[in-house]
Structure 1
Amino acid sequence: MTGPRATVRLQFHAGFTLDDAVPLVDYFASLGVSHLYASPLLAARPGSTHGYDTLDYSRINPELGGHAALARLVARLRARGMGLILDIVPNHMAVGGSGNAWWEDVLAWGRTSPCAHMFDIDWSPPDDSLRDRVLLPFLAEPYGDCLDGGTLELRHAPDGTFACWHYEHRFPICPRHYADLFDPDDTPAPIADLLEALRTATPDTAAPALARLAGWARTPDGTDAIARALAWMAPAHPAGRARLHALLERQHYRLAWWRTASDLINWRRFFDITGLAGLAVEHPDVFDAVHRTVIALYAEGLIDGVRVDHVDGLTNPHAYCTRLHRALADAAPRRPPHAPPGAPLYVEKILAADETLPADWPVDGTTGYDFLEQVDVLLHDQRGADALDDLWVWGAGGATSFHAEEQATRAAMLDGTLAADLARLVHVLSGVARRDPHARDFTPAALDRVLRRILIQFPVYRTYDHDGGKLLHEVCQSVRPALVAAQQPVLDWLARQLGPGGPAQAIACLVHLTAPLAAKAVEDTGFYRYGRLLSRNDVGTHPGRFGGTVAAFHAANAARRRDWPRAMLATATHDHKRGEDARARLAVLSELAQEWVRVATRWRDFNAPLRHRASPDRADELILYQTLLGAWPVGDRPLEQRMTPDFHDRVAAWQLKALREAKRHTSWIDPNPAYEQACAAFLAGLLSPDPENRFPRMMDAFAGRIAPPGALNGLAQTLLRLTSPGMPDLYQGCEFWDFSLVDPDNRRPVDFPARIAALAQGADIGTLLPHWRDGRVKQALIAAILRFRATHPDLFATGAYRPVRVLGTRRQHLLAFARVMPGITMLVIAPRLPAALMPDPTDLSCPAMLWRSTTLDWPDAPPGPWRSLLHPGRTLDRAAVLDLAMLAGSAPLDVLVTA
C-alpha cells in the first residue's frame, strides 16, 4: 500500500463503534477505497455523536471500543491492504459538565494550576471582577436565583475532593478552602492539622493530604463529619446560602448565568460554543500533551495519517503544522514493518474565493471544501442569476446580495455572541495605545469603532504571516473612505499594530476573532438567511458567486495538480448543509430560473391560507420550498408511500434549526415559540396526507421534472471528484444518492447491507441507468473509477492534466479533460447544465441528435483503441471518440482509457 488513493469518511459514536466498522472493510476494499477516514476517536463527552468534544487526549474513547477495538479494525484493514486517517481536534476541549481533568484542575487551583497555560484564558480581562478568575457561564438561571433555588449544591467525592454541582456541571472547590467547609466549633480533630496544612498547599503538594482526607471520609466518623459539613453549607437555609456564597466568591472562578458569556467570557471558545474551550497548543508542552496518544498510535501502526480539525483556530497554523509534521516523521522509524511509510497530513480549512493555502505549510492539502466550491459553481448557469435575484429581493424581501447579508450578520455577531471577544481585542490594543505617546489618546471607544469597520469587511477567516500584511492593508484601504477624518489616524495605527511585527498578543486576539466571526456570520447565519438559491449555500462555497466556467474549473484543477496534488476532494461532509445530490438537483433551477420563479410564486399564492399572521415570512417560505425540492423523495412508488412521517420529521427538524440559526425571528438564545409553531404548522399543512391537499402532487410533479437533470449533475460531480487531480473522499453512505439535510440528518445511520448487496450484484452503469432513482448507478460509477485508480495509481498521483476543448453547439454542456502519463491516457467526459440536454426520465439518455455538431478539439489524441470504464465491452477508435459517438442515445458521461 502506498499513499491514500481514496478515502471513506466514517462517523463513529456509541451507536456505530470501531467493531461495527470491521465487517464493512471488505465492502470498502471492493469499492476501491484505500483508507478509512475516521471521525475523532479520542475520549469525548459521554454520548457524543461526533467526537469533537474531547475530554481526554490520553486514550481511545471507550464508547467506541477503546484501543483494543481500534487494533481489531486496523488488523482487518491491513489484511485488505488498507490504512486509516484520523481526524484530530487540537483546537479545543469539552468543558462544563464534568470529566475534563485539565479544566477542573484549573478551576480548583487557578493560575497556579500546572494546566492553567493549557487553555487560552485572559487572566487580566477588562472586567476587574474576573481578574485571576475564570468566568463559568453554565448556570441555567441568574446566579442569585440558582443560589436561592438550591441548584448550587456542595458535594464530596470518594477521592477526597469537594465540588459545587449545578445539575450536570461540576465546579471544584480549591483544597486551600476545605477548612472553611466545616463549622469552626465542629472541626473534626483527626483532620484538623490536615485541613490547616491544605490552606497553604500547592497543586504539587496537596495529593498526600487529599488521599488521607479520602481515607478518613470513608470511616464512620468521617462520613458523619462530612455530612454535617455539607449540611452546614447547604443552601436550604439562609445561613447556609450565605456561607456557600462566601465560599464560591473566593474560588478561582465566577459562576454566572449562561447569558453572560457573550458579554463577559474571558477565555477562548470554539466559535461561540461555551461548552468547548480553546487550547493554547502553541506551547510545546501543551502540544505534546494533546498529541502524545496520536503520535503513539502512528508509531504503533494503528493510524497512517492525520486530518487536523479547524486549523484556523490555532494561534500559528504554520508552526503547528511544522511541529506535527516533524513529530510524525520522528515517530516513523518506530512503526512496524507492515505499516506503510509516510504520514499524509490534511487540514480543515475554509478558503475565500481568491484565497490559496499557504505554500509553505508542510501538509498534503485541505480536506476538500475548495473543490466542493469549484465543482458546485461549475454546475450552475450564470444566466439564471438575475431572475433568481428578482425572486429573492422582490418576492421574498431578502437582502440584495450575500455580501450585504454577510456584513449585517457580522455586525450582529460583534454586538452579540462575540462581543466579549471584540472587547478583549480592544482591551489589549488599548493597553498598547496607552504605552505609545502617539496613540494614548485613542480611547477604547474610538478603537472599537474602527475595529468594527475592519472586522465587518474582513474577507477571509484569518491572516497569516506569509502575506506580509498585504491582506490587512487591502482591508484597511477598503474601509478608509467610510471613516471620518478623526478616525484616519486610528486606522493607520491599527494597521501597524495588527500587521507584521505588531504585538503578538494583539495579533493573536485578532485571528482568534476573525475566524469565528467568519464562521458564525457566513455558515451559521448567512447561509440560513440568504435564499437566492440554496445549492450555492454550503460549507466552503461563496453564495455571492453564482455560475462558473469550464475554463475556471480547468484552471483550478491544473493549479491543484501543480501545488497540492494529494489534496482531498470532497462534495459531501459531516458538516454539509444539504446532501451533494440535493445540491445537484437544486442547481438545475439556475437553468430553469424563469420557470422556477413562476412555480415558486404559484406555490406561495396557493399556500397562502396555511400561513398564520404572515408566518412564515416570504423568505423563510422560499427557503422551505427549496429544501423540500432538494430532498423530495422522487421514485416509482406511489406518492403516499414516499411521503412518510419520517420525511416530515426530518424536514421539521431542519426547519427549526434553520429558523434559529438565521436569527431573524427566533434564535437558540431567544426562541420565539409563536413564530416557530406557525412555521411548523405551515410545514405540516404542506405535507398533510389529506387527499384534498394538492400541494404534495404539485411538488412531486416539479421535483420529477428536475430530478433527471439533477441526477446527471450528481453523476457529473461524482465523476469529477473521482478523476480530478487530488484524492477523492467519499462521505459515508453517499455511494447512493445523498439527499440529506444539515446535521444531525446527514449523520443518520447508513444502510450498509443494501449497499453491500448492490455492489455484489456487479451490475454496470448501462444496466443500472434504467433504475437510476435507487442510486445504484452512482455506486457503480464510484466502483468503476476507484478500481481503476487502484490498478493505475500513478496516473492519478502524477499524471499530467490536459484540458480538452469541446466544439459545437453543445460545447457549454460538456467538460472534457485527459490524465496522461507515458503508456496510458484517460479521457473524462462529464455533462454540465443538463436541463438543456433533455435527459430521458427512464434512463437519463439524451437525444442522439444533440451531439451531431459537437466534437472534441484534441489534435494529439492517441489513436486508440479506447475502452470505456463505465460500459464494459464498449470500444471506440479515435474518430468515434473525437466525434463523441459514445454519447449518442446514452447518458452523456464516460471515462475512456487507452494503453
Structure 2
Amino acid sequence: MTGAVSPSTPSSTYRLQLRPEFGFGDARDVVGYLHDLGVGAVYVSPVLDATPGSTHGYDVTDPRLARPALGGEEGRLALADAVRACGLGFVVDIVPNHMSVEVPTANPFWWDLLAKGRASQFAHWFDVDWARDRILVPVLGSADDLDALTVEGDQLVYHDHRFPIAGDTSGTPREVHDRQRYELVDWRRGNAELNYRRFFDITTLAAVRVEQQDVFAAVHAEVLRWVADGDVSGLRIDHPDGLADPTAYMQRLRAAAPQAWIVVEKILHPGEDLPQSWPVDGTTGYDALGEIFGVLVDPRGEDALTSLAAELGQDVDYAQVEQTARRLVTDDILVAEVRRIAALVDDVEAGAARAAVAETMIAFDVYRSYLPQEHAHWHAAIATARQRRPDLGEALDALDHQVTSDPSGELATRIQQTSGMVVAKGTEDTTFYRYTRFVALNEVGGSPDRFGIGVDELHDLAAARDAGAPGAMTTLTTHDTKRSEDTRARLAVLSEVADDFVAHVRRWSQQCGLGEPSLELLAWQTLVGAAPISDERLVDYLLKAARESKLRTTWTEPDEPFEQQVREWPAAVRAAVGDEVDAFVESITPHGWTNSLSQKLLQLTAPGVPDVYQGTELWDFSLVDPDNRRAVDYGARRTMLARLADGEVPAVDETGAAKLLLVQRTLTLRRDRPELFRGYTPLRAEGPSADHAVAYSRSDDLVVVATRLPVGLAEAGGWRDTTLTLPSGTWTDVLTGEAVDSTPVRLAALLDRYPVVLLVRDADAS
C-alpha cells in the first residue's frame, strides 16, 4: 500500500444498511437527499442474495444474484442510475470469506455439496476436513431428534430445516439419513467436532476458499461486472483476516478492478499498519475512530473509574481478563479448529500440540500475522507463549520451526486464519463485555486499558495517514461499533466528572444493584450514555451484553432467574433513582454535544475519506447491533436540511440541527473544493486554555478548530485570553458565514456560537 489514492476515491461516503424493509428502491429515494447533504458516494451493505429474512446481508447464499428481497437486478440498476445521475460514487460491501448455510435450500453450492459430498463440483469451494467422510451438520436439538426426521419427496426434513436426499428414499427416515453424505447431529457437538471451517463460532457461516482461482472468479464475477459496467466505483472488503492468503487476494482483486477504490475491514491495533504488499487504499477506519475519540478523554478520570470497578468486584487487570477470555475461546468454543491445526504439527504429542497452538493464538497482540511477508507479530506471539508456558517449550519450538520453515504451508495458513477468530471472539466479543470500567473505550480495534491520547499524538497519527493512506476510510460509527459516536461522546464527559459519577453509581448500586459487577457498571454507563432509552431497547442490549460476557449467563445456557432480574432492572431504577439519573444526564448532555460536534468535525476534515453512518447526521444514541440498524426518518432530515438551506443557523440543542449543519457544510466543501483538503499542519493555540483546543490546517486556505474537555474548560473560566494565530487575510466560518479578519484571533470570540469552527480563507487573500 502506498500514499497514492485510487482514481475512484470519493470525497466522502454515507453508509446505508439495506434490508428487506429498506431495499434498492428505498435507497434510490434518498439519493437526492444524500447529494444535498454533500455526500461523495453512497455506500451500501452487502447486496448479493442472502439468507431469507436477513437484516444485514453478510450471510450471502448466492453471489451471482443481486438480492431479490431488496428489489433484484432491476432495483439495483435503478439505484445505480440514480446515484450516477447525481454524480455520486457507489460503494458496495462484499463478503469473500464465507457464505451462509443456515438454509441449505437457499445456497445451491452447499446443497450440491450435501447431496454429493466429495463428488460435488463445489466440494473445493468449502474448507472441509474429509478425514470424516460425512459433513457434520450440528442442527438437532438432541441426538434423539433423528427420530423426528421425515421424508418429503427428495428432501429430508427436520422441523423447518430441509436437506437433500441422494439415492433412494426407502426405509425409515433415519435409515435414509444414515446413507447421506452429511450427518445431522446435536448442535452442541459443533464447537468440538465441526469438520468444515466457519466464520468465527457461527456454524451457519461456512468459509469459502477464495484462494482457489476458479472460486474467486465465480464468487466475484457479478460484483466485478458491476464495476466494469461503471455501476460500482468502490469495494469494501469484509473480514480479510479469515482469508488463507490476504495478500494474494488483494492483489488479484486489484488486478480485476484497477480503477476501484478498495478499503478493507482490517482491525489495526495501536501501532499496527496494513501490510505494504496490499494494493488497497486503506482500512475502513476503526483506527481513526479510536484516535479521534481518544483525544476527547480526560486521563485524570482513570483512577476514580478504576477504583469503582475494583470496589464493585471487577477484575481491573485488563491483560489478565483478556487472556482468560481468549482461553475460553480456544478451550471451549473453537475446539474443532484448534484440534484441526494441532493435527498438522509434526512429531508432537496431540495434547501438547493443541496446547501450543492455543497458547500462541492467545498471545497475539494483533489479529493475525502475515507470513511470509511479515514475521514480527508471529515471533512476538511465540515469545509471549514461551514466557507464559515454559512447560510447552518443545511443542512451541516445533510449531515455530514448522511455521517459519514453510510460511505458506497448511499449518501456517490455518493458524493465521484462526488467530483472528480467537482475538475477535476473546477480546471484542467477550473481554469488552467483562472489562467495563469505562465502556466508551471498548471499541473494535481499541485498547480499553489505554485511557485516551494527547493532542500531539493525534496530530502525528493524522499526518501519518495523510502521508501513507490518504484514501483510507475514516469513521466514527459503523454497523459493528459497540456504541454510536454520540453515545461515546457523552460518555467521554464521564472521564471529566469521574468523581461525581462514581459517587452517584455507589449510591445507585446500593439501591438497584444487578449482582454482577461487569454488567452493573455497563448498565449504569449505558443508561447515562444512551438516554433517553426505552426499557425495551435497554433490556435487549443488557441481555445481549450479559450473554456475550459469558459470566452469569450465555446464549446457549441462559440463567433464567438472572435474566429476569435484568428484564426488571429498568423499572426498578426508574422507581428508586430515576429522578437522580435524569438530573445527572441533563447535567452532562450539553458537554456531550460539544464532544459530538468536535469529533465529527475532526473526522470530516482530517486526512482520509470520512464515512457517515446512516442517521448520524443528527444526534444518534444507538448501541450495538441490531439497535444500530433501526429505521432512519429521512423525512425529518429533509425538512431540517431545507431550513438550513434557507439560511437557518441553529442552536446547539436536542434537535441535533447543529450537527446536521456541520455535516452538510463540511461534506459539501470536501466535495466541491477537494484542493482545500491536502496536507496536514498542526496549529497551536496560545494562552491559559490552549490545551482545550485541537487545531490544524489542511492547506494554506483551510483551518479547523475543535474543543476538547469542555467540563474542564468551563471550570477554568472558559477560553479567557487564549488565541490562535491565522495566516494573514480574511477568513470565513463555513458553518456560520461570519467573517474573521484579525489575527491572532481570540478563541472566546471564534468559538462563541459553536464549539467548533471551519475556516476558509477568501480567494483574494490566498
TM-score between both structures, scaled by the size of structure 1: 0.82
Residue 165 of structure 1 corresponds to 157
Partners of 2:89 and 2:159 lie apart in 1 by 42
Q: Does 1:887 align with 2:763?
A: no
Q: 1:803 aligns with which of 669, 678, 682?
A: 682
Residue 650 of structure 2 aligns to a residue whose secondary structure is: helix
Residue 630 of structure 2 corresponds to 748
Q: Does 1:838 align with 2:714?
A: yes
Residue 303 of structure 1 corresponds to 232
Residue 86 of structure 2 corresponds to 80
Partners of 2:623 and 2:326 lie apart in 1 by 25
Any residues of structure 2 matched to 1:179-578 within 5 Å, and which?
181-182=169-170, 233=171, 240=172, 244-329=173-258, 342-394=259-311, 396-429=312-345, 433=346, 440=347, 442-465=348-371, 468-484=374-390, 487-499=392-404, 501-502=406-407, 504-578=409-483
Query: How many angstroms does 1:885 deviate by?
Result: 5.1
Partners of 1:170 and 1:323 lie apart in 2 by 36
**Aligned amino acid, residue 566 of structure 1:** G
Query: How many angstroms does 1:392 deviate by?
Result: 0.6
**Aligned amino acid, residue 895 of structure 1:** L
Query: How many angstroms does 1:682 deviate by?
Result: 2.1
Alpha carbons of structure 1 residues 781 and 514: separation in structure 2 relative to 1, 3 Å? same
Residue 757 of structure 1 aligns to a residue whose secondary structure is: helix
Residue 621 of structure 2 corresponds to 739
Alpha carbons of structure 1 residues 458 and 868: separation in structure 2 relative to 1, 3 Å? same
Residue 554 of structure 2 aligns to a residue whose secondary structure is: coil
Residue 253 of structure 2 aligns to a residue whose secondary structure is: helix
Residue 151 of structure 2 corresponds to 154
Residue 139 of structure 1 corresponds to 140
8 A contact 1:765–1:780 mirrored in 2: no
Residue 726 of structure 1 corresponds to 608
Q: 1:896 aligns with which of 732, 745, 759?
A: 759
Query: Would you say how many aligned residue pairs link Structure 1 and Structure 2?
Result: 755
Query: How many angstroms does 1:468 deviate by?
Result: 3.6
Partners of 2:418 and 2:155 lie apart in 1 by 33
Query: How many angstroms does 1:22 deviate by?
Result: 1.7
Residue 113 of structure 2 corresponds to 106
1:203-233 Cα distance to aligned partner (Å, 9 max, x none): xxxxxxxxxxxxxxxxxxxxxxxxxxxxxx3
Q: Does 1:768 align with 2:650?
A: yes
Query: How many angstroms does 1:878 deviate by?
Result: 4.3
**Aligned amino acid, residue 828 of structure 1:** V
Residue 123 of structure 1 corresponds to 130
Partners of 2:757 and 2:408 lie apart in 1 by 56
Query: How many angstroms does 1:766 deviate by?
Result: 8.2
Q: 1:624 aligns with which of 504, 523, 527?
A: 523
Residue 704 of structure 2 corresponds to 828
Residue 196 of structure 1 corresponds to none
Partners of 1:523 and 1:67 lie apart in 2 by 36
Query: How many angstroms does 1:318 deviate by?
Result: 1.0
Query: How many angstroms does 1:360 deviate by?
Result: 2.1
Residue 488 of structure 2 aligns to a residue whose secondary structure is: helix
1:760-814 Cα distance to aligned partner (Å, 9 max, x none): 00169983125x2111110000011111112211332xx1100112232212211
Partners of 1:483 and 1:735 lie apart in 2 by 50
| Structure 2 unaligned spans of 5+ | 1-6
Partners of 2:632 and 2:720 lie apart in 1 by 43
Residue 256 of structure 1 aligns to a residue whose secondary structure is: strand
Partners of 2:419 and 2:722 lie apart in 1 by 48
8 A contact 2:28–2:79 mirrored in 1: yes
Q: 1:814 aligns with which of 689, 693, 700?
A: 693
Partners of 1:684 and 1:659 lie apart in 2 by 18
**Aligned amino acid, residue 146 of structure 2:** L
| Structure 1 unaligned spans of 5+ | 125-130, 157-161, 183-232, 234-239, 330-341, 434-439, 634-642, 688-692, 840-846
Residue 15 of structure 2 aligns to a residue whose secondary structure is: strand
8 A contact 1:388–1:593 mirrored in 2: yes
Query: How many angstroms does 1:247 deviate by?
Result: 3.1
Segment drifting more, 884-893 vs 694-703: 884-893
Partners of 2:463 and 2:337 lie apart in 1 by 40
Residue 208 of structure 1 corresponds to none
**Aligned amino acid, residue 519 of structure 2:** D
Residue 428 of structure 1 aligns to a residue whose secondary structure is: coil
Residue 354 of structure 1 aligns to a residue whose secondary structure is: coil
Identity rate of aligned residues, in percent? Answer: 41
**Aligned amino acid, residue 139 of structure 1:** L
Partners of 2:341 and 2:371 lie apart in 1 by 19
Alpha carbons of structure 1 residues 316 and 503: separation in structure 2 relative to 1, 3 Å? closer
8 A contact 2:341–2:414 mirrored in 1: yes
Q: 2:596 aligns with which of 714, 718, 725?
A: 714
Query: How many angstroms does 1:709 deviate by?
Result: 0.9
Query: How many angstroms does 1:417 deviate by?
Result: 1.3
Any residues of structure 2 matched to 1:607-756 within 5 Å, and which?
607=512, 615-633=514-532, 647-687=534-574, 693-756=575-638
8 A contact 2:368–2:377 mirrored in 1: no
Query: How many angstroms does 1:695 deviate by?
Result: 1.6
**Aligned amino acid, residue 30 of structure 1:** D
Alpha carbons of structure 1 residues 62 and 483: separation in structure 2 relative to 1, 3 Å? closer
Query: How large is the Cα RMSD of the aligned pairs?
Result: 1.8
Residue 48 of structure 1 aligns to a residue whose secondary structure is: coil
1:570-623 Cα distance to aligned partner (Å, 9 max, x none): 00011111111010000111111111111111111233xxx5xxx442332221
8 A contact 2:8–2:260 mirrored in 1: no
Alpha carbons of structure 1 residues 285 and 459: separation in structure 2 relative to 1, 3 Å? same
Partners of 1:481 and 1:29 lie apart in 2 by 56
Query: How many angstroms does 1:569 deviate by?
Result: 0.7
Partners of 1:248 and 1:2 lie apart in 2 by 52
Partners of 1:476 and 1:811 lie apart in 2 by 45
Alpha carbons of structure 1 residues 487 and 95: separation in structure 2 relative to 1, 3 Å? same
**Aligned amino acid, residue 540 of structure 1:** G
Query: How many angstroms does 1:888 deviate by?
Result: 5.5
8 A contact 2:13–2:39 mirrored in 1: yes
**Aligned amino acid, residue 135 of structure 1:** L
